[in-house]
């Protein structure tokens, strides 16, 4: 399985001949080095409805005839825009061609902002998800603050890789993300959702160093860099 980081909370996963794309915020992302038209996607997984996570979903899904997996309200809204969708809710899991997805809690908001009309469209709860493919389990926390049920996520499944936000202000900062990593007990941790904008600038190398001091393996994926799991 190949995992590529495209900045913010966007990851591409290649597994078993399938291309998965998570929270594809590329256009307007100052750190992204890839254009939406360059990416393949059979499935797109969205954690919530904020603009910087829905991102280029509509364009990418239509061009690739991809199916979008998302919280129910967000999936309905995207369906109205002509996309193929599969809606889910927190606590629910489903088997797909590529593997299994279970939605889990995230402490955050979820609404698409239309600046022109000065409207915010409510799109259901924010979520994270647990993805199981090729016998490996990945926890993508989405945008979230620290919450004690993260312990249960680590209890239910052995997490091979946790993708945790560290940007602060809108999500956990490094201190809380360090606690989350301990609770989840993942074999590996990659930080995300940082340095996209000045308000969420963080020292990811220091975060990884502090993980190491606690005996937790963490590493940084640079923008456009890939790793195998």
**How many Å apart are CA 11 and CA 222, to the nearest integer?**
11
Enumerate the H helices of the chain as residue ranges: 51-54, 57-64, 72-79, 150-156, 174-184, 204-213
Q: Which domain does 50 fall in, by range?
A: 2-228
| Range 173-181 average pLDDT | 98
Read off the pLDDT of residues 94-132 as tens digits, 9 standing for 90 and up.
999 999 999 999 999 999 999 988 999 999 999 999 999
Per-residue confidence (pLDDT) for residue 204, from 0 to 100: 98
Asked if residue 153 lies in contact with residue 130, where contact means CB atoms within 8 angstroms, the answer is yes
Cβ partners under 8 Å of residue 127, min gap 6: 47, 48, 71, 90, 103, 104, 105, 106, 142
Per-residue confidence (pLDDT) for residue 176, from 0 to 100: 98
Please report which confidence band the pLDDT of residue 174 belongs to, taking 50, 70 and 90 as the band edges: very high
Per-residue confidence (pLDDT) for residue 6, from 0 to 100: 97
Bridge partners (DSSP) of residue 220 are: none
Number of folded domains that form the chain: 1
| Range 80-93 average pLDDT | 98
Mean pLDDT taken over the chain:
97
Per-residue confidence (pLDDT) for residue 142, from 0 to 100: 98
Backbone CA torsion sign across 148, 131, 11, 186: positive
Do the strands 188-192 and 161-165 form a parallel or antiparallel pair, or are they unpaired? parallel
Q: Which range is least confidently modeled, 71-75, 117-121, 140-144?
A: 117-121
Please report which confidence band the pLDDT of residue 91 belongs to, taking 50, 70 and 90 as the band edges: very high
Per-residue confidence (pLDDT) for residue 87, from 0 to 100: 98
CATH of the domain at 9: 3.60.15.10
Cβ partners under 8 Å of residue 174, min gap 6: 166, 168, 191, 202, 203, 206, 207, 210
Q: What angle do CA 107, 166, 47 make, to 5 degrees?
A: 45
Per-residue confidence (pLDDT) for residue 88, from 0 to 100: 98
Which tokens in the block code for residue 169? 């202000």
Please report which confidence band the pLDDT of residue 37 belongs to, taking 50, 70 and 90 as the band edges: very high
Read off the pLDDT of residues 3-17 as tens digits, 9 standing for 90 and up.
999 999 999 999 999
- Convert 153-198 into a string of H (helix), E (strand) and C (coil): HHHHCCCCEEEEECCCCCCCCHHHHHHHHHHHCCCEEEEECCCCCH
Per-residue confidence (pLDDT) for residue 109, from 0 to 100: 96
């Amino acid at each position: 399985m190949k995992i590529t980081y495209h900045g913010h909370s966007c990851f591409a996963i290649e597994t078993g001949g399938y291309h998965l794309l998570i929270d594809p915020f590329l256009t307007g992302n100052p750190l992204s080095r890839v254009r939406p038209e360059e990416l393949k996607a059979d499935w797109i997984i969205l954690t919530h409805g904020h603009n910087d996570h829905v991102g280029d979903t509509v364009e990418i899904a239509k061009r690739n005839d991809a199916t979008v997996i998302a919280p129910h309200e967000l999936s309905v809204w995207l369906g109205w825009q002509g996309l193929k969708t599969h809606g889910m809710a927190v606590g629910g899991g489903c088997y797909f061609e590529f593997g299994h997805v279970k939605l889990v809690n995230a402490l955050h908001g979820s609404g698409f902002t239309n600046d022109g009309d000065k409207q915010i469209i409510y799109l259901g709860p924010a979520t994270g998800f647990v993805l199981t493919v090729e016998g490996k389990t990945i926890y993508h926390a989405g945008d979230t603050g620290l919450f004690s049920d993260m312990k249960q996520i680590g209890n239910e499944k052995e997490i091979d890789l946790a993708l945790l936000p560290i940007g602060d202000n809108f999500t956990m900062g490094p201190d809380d993300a360090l606690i989350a990593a301990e609770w989840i007990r993942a074999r590996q941790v990659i930080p995300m959702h940082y340095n996209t904008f000045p308000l969420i600038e963080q020292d990811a190398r220091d975060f990884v160093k502090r993980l190491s001091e606690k005996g937790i393996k963490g590493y940084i994926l640079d923008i456009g860099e890939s790793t195998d799991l």
